[in-house]
Amino acid sequence: MGNCLKCFQSSSSSSAAPTLPTSQSLPNALQNLNANNSCQAATSIGNCYDIVQSNANDRPRETDELLSNRTPLKPANNCDTKRNSFKSLGLLNGSAPTMSDIITTAVKESMEVSPQALNKLFEIYRDPDEEDMILTDGIERLCLDLNYQPDEFAILVLAWCLDASQMCRFTRTEFIDGLHKMRADSIESIRLRLEHTIEMLKVDSEMFKQLYRFTFRFGLEPDQRVLSLDMAIDLWKLVFTVQTPDLFSNWVNFLDKHPNIRRIPKDTWNMYLNFTEQCDIDNYDDTEAWPSLFDDFVEYEKNRALEMATVHDDDNNNDDPLQCHVKAGGDMRHVS
């Protein structure tokens, strides 16, 4: 997939948030998950996944040192934020290192996935010059068949589901193994899994945190450890499609007005999610272990608020006839 968000975008300015199913469309099975990571059969819609945790210990785990235990972001569309039904996902404290451990733990699928169907599906979108790759053209065709635009949130979720290593590319292993863990071997079943995953992301902050962290790695150029500012802003806008922080537009405006800010490192990216959960501009404590960029943002916001208040007071004085008369009289005395 190249390493450019443009490969995923038809136009960043024209992208719109995807139309997502309502919370009522969640399967009843998701509401009955028990604390032992066991699964209830969902016979009405057949939308469950197998529990797959064989590779949970094979990958390095990211720590939760940068994340708070405070109230999570409010999901979009006023979704129910009760998370009792998601306790069995094993997400607390970031204990699930990859998307596959999250999604495949959700519910159990009674229908077997066909390896032949998965390989056939891969061949449909495979690049003609690359035996084991789906590249930009193939991804665009896949998006079209799924009825999504390449720059929609759902496609980021799909890349997360496949544990894609970089943008604008799915390897054969990522595509086939990822879909197998999703229990999806057709366009229809892929779209259904994505819809249900998006619904879960709306109501489970720990699950969203895993997607958020994946997004940083996904946007990196090969052999790079930081995101360019333009890429970081585009990815922030994309990943916050379903739940947007209150001060996010102010944050983007601050970054745009400071051209000296050129890169976003991993710690800043990870801590920004925590920052949005507990940031209080008026009571911000700059002695805490925040990146200096956050200190600058808070100072910028306070100064901007002070300037706006000053302008507002001046406008009110100009609208007061008595104040205008006194001011005019003072000017005349000064002239004489």
Environment class of 239 (CB within 10 Å of its CB; exposed 0-12, middle 13-18, buried 19+): buried
User: What is the C-alpha separation between 111 and 50, in angstroms, rounded?
Assistant: 10
pLDDT of residue 112: 80
Question: Cβ of 245: how many Cβ atoms within 10 Å?
Answer: 18
The pLDDT of residue 120: 97
How far from chain centre, in Å, is Cα 134?
23
* Separation of alpha carbons 108 and 92, rounded Å: 21
Q: CA angle 230-232-233, nearest 5°?
A: 65
Q: Are 281 and 301 in contact (CB under 8 A)?
A: yes
pLDDT of residue 32: 45
Give the residue from 87, 95, 106 showing the smallest Cα distance to 41: 106
pLDDT by residue, tens only, the chain of 336 residues: 444 565 555 444 444 444 434 444 444 443 443 434 443 333 333 443 443 334 444 444 454 444 444 334 433 333 333 333 333 333 433 444 455 555 554 444 445 899 999 999 999 999 999 999 999 999 999 999 999 999 999 999 999 999 999 999 999 999 999 999 999 999 999 999 999 999 999 999 999 999 999 999 999 998 899 999 999 999 999 999 998 999 999 999 999 999 999 999 999 999 999 999 888 888 898 888 899 999 999 999 999 988 887 776 555 656 555 455 545 455 544 444
CB 167 within 8 A of CB 160: no
Distance of CA 200 to the CA centre of its chain: 13
Instruction: State how far Cα 194 lies from the chain centre.
Output: 14
Q: pTM for this structure?
A: 0.66
* H/E stretch holding 124: helix 115-125
pLDDT of residue 307: 87
Q: What is the pLDDT of residue 326?
A: 47
Q: Please report the domains of the chain, with CATH numbers, ordered by start residue.
A: 112-203 (1.10.238.10), 210-311 (1.10.238.200)
- Cβ-based neighbour number of residue 228 at 10 Å: 15
pLDDT of the residue at 314 = 56
CA 102, 105, 110, 115 torsion-angle sign: positive
